[in-house]
């Protein structure tokens, strides 16, 4: 049952599409931005790193902000990667930190899946998996993300 729990709190999914990789990535990025995620990685960088949270959650850190209503008390990190092989593009969403915002990540994944399907480019919607199911070489694996040095010990962004 631990696997189902990890899929719920650290969701990941790989969507396979046809067409230009940059267009597919732009659709995925747009879905997260529409969901009020903030891009933290440098423009044009892949994988793309997003933060979800508010100034209040950033300032208060771990001082019980998870108990506050709405977006104020929630904070998390999500990675979107893009790989091309055999004229197909795989967009990988991986929520690497912040179980309180997993629903927002799943919503962004669903918006992206629906956009791909509406455009007629969706080849495989994949199955929901845990971010821990991704290879350790992937920045979308939570252990790899934590070891990357992108975040300080208190979860603040330290590099761009």
CA Rg value for the chain: 15
pTM of the model: 0.84
> What tokens were used for 76?
């998390």
- Grade residue 7 by pLDDT with cuts at 50, 70 and 90: confident
Residue 3: band (very low, low, confident or very high) from pLDDT cuts 50, 70, 90: low
152 in helix, strand or coil? coil
The pLDDT value given to residue 37: 94
Mean pLDDT, range 79-88, rounded to an integer: 95
Confidence tier at 2 by pLDDT (50, 70, 90): very low
Answer whether residue 56 shows pLDDT above 70.
no
Strands 122-124 and 75-85: unpaired
Tell me the CATH architecture of domain 2-147.
Answer: 2-Layer Sandwich (3.30)
**Angle formed by the axes of helices 21-34 and 102-119, to 10°?**
140
- Chain-wide mean pLDDT for the chain? 85
- In tens, the pLDDT along 87-127 reads 999 999 999 998 889 999 999 999 999 999 999 999 999 99
Decide which of 78 and 9 is more confident: 78
Count of other CB atoms within 10 angstroms of residue 16: 18
């Amino acid at each position: 049952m631990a696997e189902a729990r990890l899929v719920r709190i650290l969701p990941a999914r790989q969507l396979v599409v046809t067409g230009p990789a940059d267009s597919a990535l732009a659709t995925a990025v747009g879905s997260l931005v529409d969901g009020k995620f903030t891009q933290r990685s440098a423009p044009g960088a892949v994988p793309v790193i997003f933060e979800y949270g508010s100034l209040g959650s950033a300032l208060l850190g771990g001082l019980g902000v998870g108990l506050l209503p709405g977006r104020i008390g929630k904070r998390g990190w999500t990675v979107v990667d893009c790989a091309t092989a055999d004229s197909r593009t795989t967009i990988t969403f991986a929520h690497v930190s912040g179980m309180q915002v997993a629903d927002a990540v799943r919503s962004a994944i669903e918006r992206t899946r629906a956009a791909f399907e509406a455009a007629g480019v969706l080849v495989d919607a994949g199955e929901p998996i845990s971010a821990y199911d991704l290879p350790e070489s992937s920045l979308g694996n939570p252990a790899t993300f934590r070891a990357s040095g992108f975040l300080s010990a208190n979860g603040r962004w330290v590099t761009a």
